[in-house]
Amino acid sequence: MERIAIIDVGSNSVRLVMIDIGPEGGYHQIENVKETVRLVANTAPDGSLHPKAQEHAVETLALFAGLCEVRGVDTIIAVATAAVRRAPNRAEFLAKLHRETGIEVRVLTGEEEADLDYIGVVNTVAPETGLIIDVGGGSTKLIGYRNRLKEHWAALPFGSVTLANDFAVRDKIDPASLVELEGFLTKELTKLPWLFQYNTVVALGGIARTLARIDRRRRDYRPDISHGYEILAESVEDNYRRLARLDLHSRWRIAGMSRERADVIVAGIAVIKQVLQASGSSRVVTSRSGLRDGLLYRYLSRDTRDPILLSPLMHSVENLIQYYNIESAHYRHVNNLALSLYDQLRPLHGMNTYERRLLIVAALLHDIGIVVDHENRYIHTFYMMLNARLNGLSHRELVTCAFVAASHERYFLQGVMNYTVPAGPLEQEDFRRIMLLSLLLRLAKSFDLGKGGAVEGVRVEIDDHEVRMRLRTRGKARLEMQAAMAHAADFKAFFRRSLRII
């Protein structure tokens, strides 16, 4: 087991994440610590870092260094971004950091920062084409990608902290200041005509996460997960106007508000709002991944030097299987049986590769909840599916997979209406998907009841009144057949045909 730490010295905050990497490559985050330092605040006219901010940063990194030592970290990767990059006194600051903490911090160029954001996003989010926006404290990065390949990038020299200061939108806000701020942003964004090429904005960073949390609390939305959460452009506008009408103390009381960002949230959302307007995009997808994830994928691919994953979804599935040491052979055999049933029954259910992909995910992870406890493992499976970071799925797909995977002996639909529009992402048509995929997964699990591969394959024969499943077995499979027939009533209710297993 290898343990690495990634330290991001940002313009607004300094963050430490620790990741365990197993011998087979499975990895898992074990620490995520943040301290709001505001290096970009109170800088001198030439951009020099203020002594008090420097001291706060040094104290924070000294704490992080001690934590790394206590937790037995093998490798520390530390980087700094815009505030340090632009500071004339950065050399003495970096020397002081190294002298007093032992940590050597590398300053990223604007292009390196944009590259790492891009790597972190395309390896974890569902949209394969989009416009990434990362609103930092002292800079804003914009990256356009199509079919997961980067096309354009820009690093703009302003962020939530600098804009909040420059346009006096920290506490009680004068409407004229908002007009001035929006006019400035519009002028700057018109210099980037390529923004119009993307109809989905992917937002990352603390401002985006706070906006997503505020919007979820307002809607009482489930699942309460930031990564992959979608906000319509009109909701961004509505939240922006609502927060701009409040003074700082009133903003602190807004459900979902991050207290340390309440004074810069209006400026930060203004950037997202104006990017939506400039690009003509209709929605924002929130990403919890970005620069630090880009550094992780760079580290994981240090031998191949290709950090872009072939399939973010299957990579995250395999990572969970490896990290939690799931019984791989049994799960893969259940998956193969479920897919065989899905393909052969397609003339009856009429679904396509979209649903097939969801079935693969649910089948490979259908009993992941057992890592919590065997008792009530279907409930633990549902929770794990939602919270174990399955990348590359929309919330709608994620919730669908969770209900399918949790359907063990019978359909699992506990609280499903809480996840259905307007409270959640599920649509009415998703219920048929869940019923079909759950049924096929339960049959496949029954065919591998003993987890020894007794049923090697299934041949399906269909007529107007009956579906016959002819099993290819190794030895007797009476108990497997009996377990599968326990689902015959659900099969008939869905397919309007009797089930016979031979």
In CATH, what number is assigned to the domain containing residue 350?
1.10.3210.10
Domain that includes residue 264, residue range: 111-292
Asked whether residue 484 is assigned to any structural domain, the reply reads yes
> Number of folded domains in the chain?
3
Determine how many CB atoms are found less than 10 A away from the CB of residue 207: 29
Tell me: do 103 and 183 sit in the same domain: no
Tell me, yes or no, whether 121 lies in a domain. Answer: yes
Residue 303 lies in a domain: no
Sequence-separated (6 or more) residues with CB below 8 Å from residue 387: 223, 225
| The two three-digit tokens of residue 175, written as one number | 């409407």
The tokens describing 356, both together, are: 């097939």
Distance CA 424, CA 219 (A): 9
The answer to whether residue 253 is domain-embedded is: yes
Angle between helix axes 353-364 and 312-323 (nearest 10 degrees) is: 10
Phi–psi pair at 414, nearest 5 degrees: -60, 120
Distances (CA, A) of 11 to 86, 157, 161, 473: 10, 12, 9, 62
Strands (DSSP E) contained in 95-198 are 106-107, 130-135, 140-146, 149-156
Note whether residue 298 is domain-resident.
Answer: no
d(CA 130, CA 284): 10
Domain boundary residue among 108, 125, 142? 108
Yes or no: say if 268 and 214 are a contact pair by the CB < 8 Å rule: no
Residues 115 and 103 in one domain: no
Task: Say yes or no: 126 and 82 in one domain.
Answer: no
Whether 304 is in a domain gets the answer: no
Q: Does one domain contain both 490 and 380?
A: yes
Nearest C-alpha neighbor of 279 from the set 182, 188, 201: 201
- Answer positive or negative: Cα dihedral of 259, 265, 266, 269: negative
Q: Give the predicted TM-score (pTM) of the model.
A: 0.93
Instruction: Tell me the CA end-to-end span of the chain in Å, nearest whole number.
Output: 47
Report mean pLDDT in 10-residue bins for the chain, 502 residues. 96 94 90 92 87 95 97 97 93 96 96 96 96 94 96 95 95 96 97 95 96 96 96 97 97 94 97 97 95 96 92 95 86 96 97 97 95 91 94 97 94 94 95 97 96 95 96 93 97 97 94
Q: For 47, what's the count of Cα atoms within 13 Å in the CB-facing half-sphere? A: 14
Q: Are residues 403 and 456 in the same domain?
A: yes
Question: DSSP characters for 245-278?
Answer: TS-HHHHHTSTT--GGGTTTHHHHHHHHHHHHHH
Name the packing angle between helices 395-405 and 430-447 (round to 10°): 40
CA distance 156 to 122: 21
Domain boundary, last residue among 108, 137, 165 = 108
ω into 51 cis (within 30 of 0): no
* CB-based contact 21:6 (threshold 8 Å): no
- Residue 327 CA from chain centroid, whole number: 25
Q: Compute how many other C-beta atoms are within 10 angstroms of the C-beta atom of residue 199.
A: 14
Q: Are residues 232 and 147 in the same domain?
A: yes
Tell me 28's DSSP state: E
Is there a contact between 76 and 116 (Cβ–Cβ < 8 Å)?
Answer: no
Do both 88 and 217 map to the same domain?
Answer: no
* DSSP state letters, 52-95: HHHHHHHHHHHHHHHHHHHTT-SEEEEEE-HHHHH-TTHHHHHH
Instruction: Quote the DSSP letter at residue 179.
Output: H
Q: Do 199 and 335 fall within a single domain?
A: no
DSSP 469: E
Instruction: Give the CA distances from residue 61 to residues 9, 161, 292, in Å, rounded to whole numbers and listed in that order.
Output: 9, 21, 16
Cross-strand bridge partners of residue 35: 14
Q: Which amino acid is at 57?
A: A
Beta-carbon neighbour count of residue 111 at 10 Å?
12
Spatial distance between the Cα atoms of 440 and 490, rounded to a whole number of angstroms: 10
**292 Cβ contact partners less than 8 Å away, ≥ 6 residues apart:** 6, 8, 15, 17, 120
Residues 11 and 125 in one domain: no
In a domain, 301, yes or no: no
Q: Which of 444, 438, 481, 321 is nearest to 390 (CA)?
A: 321
73 and 9 inside one domain? yes
Residue 308: inside a domain: no
Does residue 477 share a domain with residue 373?
yes
> What is the model's pLDDT at position 12?
87
156: which 2 tokens?
């703009």
**Same domain? 317 vs 455:** yes
Q: Quote the tokens at residue 392.
A: 């590359």
CATH number at residue 92: 3.30.420.40
CATH code of 131's domain: 3.30.420.150
Write down which residue in 79, 108, 137 finishes a domain.
108
